[in-house]
Amino acid sequence: MIIIMKPNASEEAVGKIKNLIESKGLQAHLSKGTEVTIVGVVGDKTKLQGANIEMAEGVDKIVPVTETYKLVNKKFHPEDSVIEVGNTSIGPGRLTMMAGPCAIENHDMVIETAIAVKKAGAEFLRGGAYKPRTSPYAFQGLEEEGLQYMKEARDETGLNIVCEVTSLRALETAVKYVDMIQIGARNMQNFELLKEAGRAGIPVLLKRGLSATIDEWLNAAEYIASEGNPRIVLCERGIRTYETATRNTLDISAVPVIRAKSHLPILIDPSHATGVRAYIEPISKAAVAAGADGLIVEVHPCPSCALSDGPQSLTFEQFEKLTENLKPYAALAGRIF
């Protein structure tokens, strides 16, 4: 449940409510808005029976929260979150662009790509050092060697770097190099990995599972937040349906639904959603119009030579054209790009 304080509630009154909640063995989370303070209660609320909180000084009303996710719920945190990552932030008023190859292949291609995407307006270099592949014989990534190349690219360009982790071992290695970790669609319900990501404290880009509902996705985010890490950005990358014309089916409605249900920022991945580079620009425009906080796009110096996901990767020239064509859409949406 959440306790909504009156607009003129004093710090002392808020503190008394917080202390009362914690004295009952529950967690109290404060969300201070421009007008009111909300106290979120996490735990077995039956422990508060008889406490008569609704009659306490400064309390306006008590609202039950029926959803199983609490910390990432908009009711707990009415104002949209801004997630600080490296030298930038993701959230309201900004359009964040992440770009780079599906898989890190060698040193030169990473540096070359980083320079190109930075020039075109990206703030993040994305790249896979650990690749969960459908076939065990497909390229699995360079692992720590790839992370070292990405760190060199950050040192040279100033880009923030984001990389997927697939296991606790990968997580423990990645946090030494990256600004943000990504938990991919196949691991969205790897609950032990989600817990470890929460304990690591580093910003997390959480992709939606291949067939996950939005509530399942938000509960996955709750696993991370419940371990003390609220620095979460969601990423819609398409879900599996009966349609075969595209690699996945982009659920563009997920953007306004997340806006209504959660305070977390949301990005769109048009590359994995469509699997076809020709569709990336129109899908990106739709994402901006729908209210997405950014995009994560696959870019490769030679898509036809790529070891992973070449057909959905943009060339440098195509990515530069994309960012240029997105500028008026970002302006209409009131976002800095």
Q: Sketch the domain layout of the chain as residue ranges.
A: 2-63, 83-333
- pLDDT at position 43 is 84
pLDDT by residue (tens digit) across 52-76? 898 899 999 998 888 999 999 999 9
Mean pLDDT of 165-169: 95
Angle between helices 144-157 and 107-120 (to 10 degrees): 40
CATH superfamily of 2-63: Phospho-2-dehydro-3-deoxyheptonate aldolase; domain 1 (3.30.70.1140)
Mean pLDDT of 259-284: 98
Rounded to whole angstroms, how far apart are CA atoms 10 and 3? 14
* DSSP 8-state code for residue 73: B
Average pLDDT, the chain: 94
Rounded to whole angstroms, how far apart are CA atoms 103 and 248? 19
Contact present, 109 and 325 (Cβ < 8 Å) = no
Domain 83-333 fold: TIM Barrel (3.20.20)
- pLDDT at position 201 is 95
* Nearest residue to 283 via CA among 38, 168, 292: 292
pLDDT by residue (tens digit) across 171-209? 999 999 999 999 999 999 999 999 999 999 999 999 999
Least confident of 9-23, 109-123, 129-143, 266-280: 129-143
Higher-confidence residue: 308 or 174?
174
Higher-confidence residue: 314 or 137?
314
Query: Would you place residue 31 in the very low, low, confident or very high pLDDT band (cuts 50, 70, 90)?
Result: confident
- pLDDT at position 137 is 67
